[in-house]
Amino acid sequence: MRMTTDEISLCGCYIETMFTMEVGTKLAVVLSVEEQNIRAKGVVVTKYPQVGNGIDFVELSKDDGSKLSEFISEHQP
């Protein structure tokens, strides 16, 4: 599924979706960031029906973690 990420950190993200997933659902996550893909394994930790889900990253490679960290640093308010 393709979804919009509302918030993101090195620990996880919040996705906006009307079709929320159950807490505990395990996911393969691919974030498209500035023409790069960042892959992580995640688990759903919060559910707000018809609004979105909070996702914790449980596995993120060192290389993908570096890419994500750089993206976050460049886009902080």
> Given this model, what pLDDT does residue 75 score?
84
What range does the domain containing 8 cover? 4-74
What separation in angstroms does the CA of 50 have from each of 10, 19, 41, 42?
25, 6, 23, 20
- Cα 60 to Cα 41: distance, rounded to the nearest angstrom: 7
Domain count across the chain: 1
Take residue 16 and report the two structure tokens written for it.
């906006």
Q: Is the pLDDT of residue 61 over 80?
A: yes
Q: Say which CATH number the domain at 60 has.
A: 2.40.10.220
For the stretch 3-55, pLDDT in tens is 888 899 999 999 999 999 999 999 999 999 888 999 999 999 999 999 999 99
